[in-house]
Amino acid sequence: MASIQDVSAEELAKLFHDYQQALAPDFDCSGDRLPAYSWARTPQNERKLKIAAARLALLELASITPPESNRERYFAKPGEADWGC
């Protein structure tokens, strides 16, 4: 599985666009409110907007620190263990 660092903003924006187009009819968002066109036919200014939004989302996701894993919670780091002998 790819990490957030491996995903480009362009890839994320294109995927989001494709999924949005595919799901729009299920949420009654088709017709005049959401024109249906492929990523390749998306106007350049709209593509740039989606890529910029995706870039900001990726930066925010990358800045979130992952929760402490169980291993880190229960085991001492090398050199920090107290040996009770």
Q: Does residue 14 form part of some domain?
A: yes
Number of domains the chain is built from: 1
Q: Does residue 75 form part of some domain?
A: no
Q: Please write the tens of the pLDDT for every residue from 51-79.
A: 999 999 999 988 886 665 555 666 777 77
- The residue range of the domain holding 21 is 7-63
d(CA 33, CA 47): 17
Q: Does residue 76 form part of some domain?
A: no
Q: Does residue 19 form part of some domain?
A: yes
Q: Does residue 12 form part of some domain?
A: yes
Q: Please write the tens of the pLDDT for every residue from 16-56.
A: 999 998 998 888 886 555 567 899 999 999 999 999 999 99
d(CA 52, CA 31): 26
